[in-house]
Structure 1
Amino acid sequence: MSDLGALTYYLSIEVRQGREALMLGQSAYASKLLERSGMTECKPCVTLMEERLKLTKASTAAKVDATLYRSIVGDMRYLVHTRPDIAFAVGYVSRFMEDPREDHWATVKRLLRYIKGTVDHGIIFPKTGGSRLQLTVFSDADMAGDIHGRQSTSGVLVFLGSALISWLSLK
């Protein structure tokens, strides 16, 4: 067995270890995702999705290439490991993988434009320096927000540490 030094890269996750924090990101993976989707030259946007966007499985818009749609959304699902800010939007567009339509694809493209503008974002875990750990929990639900099946989407964030985990630019 040999010592390879400090971890810097593992399964497309970039690891930076500093004195104050441990940083995880996937900027190279995000750039490859934009390249595979043909969105490297797109104009970045600052928001993930349109406000109060309601997509449906019963859309009458034109069909899109289901293989490409599934591939891009699947790649974005892996990007969520270090990008919790896109988790809801990726989960939302994942609902339409069975029969993707133009309006679903437009939402995916907007998400890709957001990723283009935030390609260097990731997670920062501050080092606590021996201070007491604090448990912080947030939860939310949209109360039957799925217009097709009237199911609720809920989410829970659990933080254990002296500070909240943030997703900031790693540069």
Structure 2
Amino acid sequence: MAECKPCVTPMEERLKLMKVSTAAKVDATFYRSIVGDLRYLVHMRPDITFVVGYVSRFMEDPREDHWLLRYIKGTVDQGIVFPKTGESGLQLTMFSDADIAGDID
């Protein structure tokens, strides 16, 4: 991925990947390792949470079209910092949306 062209979005809009694919197989152990690293990175980069969950579906039989790492390459300087505040503490508000119906398999 050192030579890849970065992109500005984590995933193509309306991208639908399937477990049954004609793309070339990739090393499953390496794929699982990368997905595990991305799951750790989600704690500091919530912008990739959906994509990491999406590519986690394909750990059993990963294919070339299941790689979605170009966004990480282009945004390595981004992240969340939780600064120490005064007596008031830290207030964190989060929102989530699930699209289970978008799962083709």
Which sections of structure 1, spanning at least 5 residues, go unmatched?
A: 1-38, 149-171
SS of the equivalent of 2:52 reads helix
1:123 matched to 2:91? The reply is: no
Change (3 A) 1:133 1:62: closer
Question: Which residue of 34, 42, 56 maps to 1:72?
Answer: 34
1:101 matched to 2:86? The reply is: no
Is the strand fraction higher in 1 or 2?
1
Give the deviation of 1:128 after TM superposition: 4.1
Aligned to 1:4: none
1:139-171 Cα deviation digits (max 9, x unpaired): 3122511111xxxxxxxxxxxxxxxxxxxxxxx
Which sections of structure 2, spanning at least 5 residues, go unmatched?
A: none
Is the helix fraction higher in 1 or 2?
2
SS of the equivalent of 2:82 reads strand
With normalisation by structure 2, the TM-score equals 0.82
Which has the bigger relative contact order, CA under 8 A and spacing at least 6?
2
1:102 and 1:120 map into 2 onto residues whose CA distance is 26
The alignment-based identity, stated in percent, is 84
Give the deviation of 1:85 after TM superposition: 1.0
Give the deviation of 1:102 after TM superposition: 2.2
2:89 and 2:38 map into 1 onto residues whose CA distance is 35
1:45 matched to 2:7? The reply is: yes
1:71 and 1:129 map into 2 onto residues whose CA distance is 39
- Give 1 or 2 for the bigger CA radius of gyration: 1
Q: Within 5 Å, give how 1:80-159 maps onto structure 2.
A: 80-104=42-66, 108=67, 111-131=68-88, 136-148=93-105
Query: What amino acid is aligned across from residue 60 of structure 2 in structure 1?
Result: E
With normalisation by structure 1, the TM-score equals 0.53
1:108-131 Cα deviation digits (max 9, x unpaired): 2xx322111111212122444334
| Root mean square deviation of aligned Cα | 2.1
